[in-house]
Structure 1
Amino acid sequence: MSLQENRIFKAVIKEPWPYTTGAILLAVLNIALFAISNAPWGVTTAFSYWGGWLAKTFGIPVEQWFYFAEPHRQALKLSFFTHSGTLMNLGIIVGALLAALAASQFKLKKIKSVAQVIAAICGGLLMGYGARLAFGCNIGALFSGVASSSLHGWLFMVFMFVGAWIGSKLLVKYFM
């Protein structure tokens, strides 16, 4: 690898990109996704479908649940590998893993305590519940909401920062 190729590799793979580059790339990809799929970018709805498919596997009649009325009922007819949101989420997970590996930033961390595990589980459940209440996470409710000039996206942003501030205070108080 030549010196020039090595510099390009480091700039693109090893080192963090400038925020403006990331923002422009996200905007272009969001526009492309909307043009191709006719729907804004979302993440957490696919997770609710995963839960529905898993529950159906165990004989739970999720078709009768209010959440799985139209238009979500159609998703129950799909499978894990035929749902576009699922494929996109898997791509995000694999892409993040590959990016961390390429930048030599992948690390397995030791669990410090049972309290840390309980806090992580509670935090994950609260985030998932909040994402369903808000009809999305920071991608669907915030990023796609702001991009479409929706008031809910801007409100989500304000309360997301409030929640992050409160969460950071609790983190420092109880886990640092």
Structure 2
Amino acid sequence: MRLLEKIINKHWPYLVGGIILAVLNVALFLVSGKPWKITTGFLYWGMGILKAIGFDYSNWYYFNVYGNNLSEGQTFFNNEYTILNLAVIFGALIAALLASEFKWKKIKNRRQLLFGLIGGLLMGYGSRLSFGCNIGSYFSAIPSFSLHGWVYGLFMFIGAWIGCKLLFKFLL
């Protein structure tokens, strides 16, 4: 019981987390033949919702140039990315509940809410421009020897530095 308690309640070293993520990324690639792409799943969910309410995306530049990369018989909601995203969401919830770290937090002020919404929109838009978030554009790209992963990494760190400066100047 003590080992289980240690695994659930103690922080893991970054090296352990990195190794687990790397092994899972390789396993995913071996099983599905596709790299891990979190924001692609969210793109598919959004397109599935738009399709359900009647939007025609067939003439959109993104899908004309890149297609939707769904395998035969898959839909925007029935694909490996949906399974992965749901696993990440529910896995994080279960981990937070087991570690007694789950909390509902009250929004402190409207300024914080506004910055959070703007930041979320910018991150979502940026992740699609770069064909993925830090998982698809960085974590899956660098092991594939893709130059764009290194460029993404450089600008991710620059953006994080600027974001920290803005956070301290306007919110803290």
TM exceeds 0.5?
yes
State yes or no: 1:53 paired with 2:62: no
Compute the TM-score of the two structures, normalised by the length of structure 2: 0.92
In 2, Cα distance between equivalents of 1:41 and 1:79: 16
Is the contact made by 1:63 and 1:73 (CA closer than 8 Å) also made in structure 2? no
**Which of 76, 83, 89 is residue 85 of structure 2 equivalent to?**
89
Q: Taking structure 1 as reference, are residues 84 and 158 closer, same or farther at Cα in structure 2, changes over 3 Å only?
A: same
In 2, Cα distance between equivalents of 1:161 and 1:50: 28
In 2, Cα distance between equivalents of 1:61 and 1:74: 17
The answer to which of 82-91 and 67-76 deviates more is 67-76
Where does residue 30 of structure 1 map in the other structure?
A: 25
Structure 1 residue identity aligned to 2:52: T
Structure 2 residue identity aligned to 1:174: F
Deviation at 1:26, TM superposition (A): 1.1
Where does residue 153 of structure 1 map in the other structure?
A: 149
Structure 2 residue identity aligned to 1:118: L
In 2, Cα distance between equivalents of 1:149 and 1:77: 29
In 2, Cα distance between equivalents of 1:23 and 1:77: 31
* Count of matched residue positions in the alignment of Structure 1 and Structure 2: 170
Where does residue 130 of structure 1 map in the other structure?
A: 126
**Which of 100, 105, 108 is residue 109 of structure 1 equivalent to?**
105
**Consecutive unaligned residues in structure 2, runs of 5 or more:** none
Where does residue 78 of structure 1 map in the other structure?
A: 75
Residues 32-54 of structure 1: CA deviation (Å, up to 9, x unaligned): 11111111111001111111111
Is the contact made by 2:142 and 2:149 (CA closer than 8 Å) also made in structure 1? yes
Compute the TM-score of the two structures, normalised by the length of structure 1: 0.90
SS at match of 1:62: coil
Is the contact made by 1:11 and 1:17 (CA closer than 8 Å) also made in structure 2? no
Deviation at 1:17, TM superposition (A): 1.1
State yes or no: 1:21 paired with 2:37: no
**Consecutive unaligned residues in structure 1, runs of 5 or more:** none
Is the contact made by 2:47 and 2:76 (CA closer than 8 Å) also made in structure 1? no
